[in-house]
Structure 1
């Protein structure tokens, strides 16, 4: 059985997740890249090719929408559906971190089988 793309299931890849969060407020492409790098302390950097490919995928999934802009730049913002998916992704990531911490903290030799 073929696996569905993550956007169709609402399970976002890391880059898509951060781009979606960045357009909670309306932003244009370069501003999205700057915002993510600055707000993450350099942990999240996305190049132009990845950014614009991901923006198209997010728009196709109706998680973001292009908004009219008077400065000849394409600007985007999160939709209500995008907010729902972002919220679910934050919770999913919290659960994944909790599971990872549990695994990391297990007694060594507990399940050596």
Structure 2
């Protein structure tokens, strides 16, 4: 069976979508958000970041809202919000499963 697109997100993908919950962002904003939010644990390089952004635009999870020279600004779509929430729910269940075996 083929894997569904966006069935699960990588950690970097999760933080990219999370950044958009603070408002519209450009690539630099997103990379700085992820590093700041995780206290340096997650660092998203430009190659990874722009690959994710391209995929998210293609999947209609984000929308490009402005271009100023090389700077592109994006915002999250309703579909992106749903995918983010579904991933949070999935991760919560994973943590609950893991914690339940420690009891």
Structure 1 and Structure 2 fold alike (TM over 0.5): yes
Determine which structure has the larger strand proportion and give its number. Answer: 2
Structure 1 runs not aligned, ≥5 long? 107-113
Whole-angstrom CA distance in 2 between matches of 1:30 and 1:102: 39
SS of 1:23's equivalent in the other structure is helix
TM-score w.r.t. length of structure 2:
0.88
Length, aligned pairs only: 101
Runs of at least 4 residues off by over 2 Å = 1-5
Structure 2 runs not aligned, ≥5 long? none
Give the aligned CA root-mean-square deviation in angstroms: 1.5
Aligned to 1:46: 44
The CA deviation at 1:3 is 2.5
- Which residue of the other structure, out of 80, 98, 101, is the alignment partner of 1:100? 98
Task: Map 1:1-113; keep pairs closer than 5 Å.
Answer: 1-5=1-5, 7=6, 9=7, 11-24=8-21, 25-69=23-67, 71-72=68-69, 73-103=71-101, 105=102
Whole-angstrom CA distance in 2 between matches of 1:13 and 1:37: 15
SS of 1:3's equivalent in the other structure is coil
SS of 1:59's equivalent in the other structure is helix
The CA deviation at 1:4 is 2.7
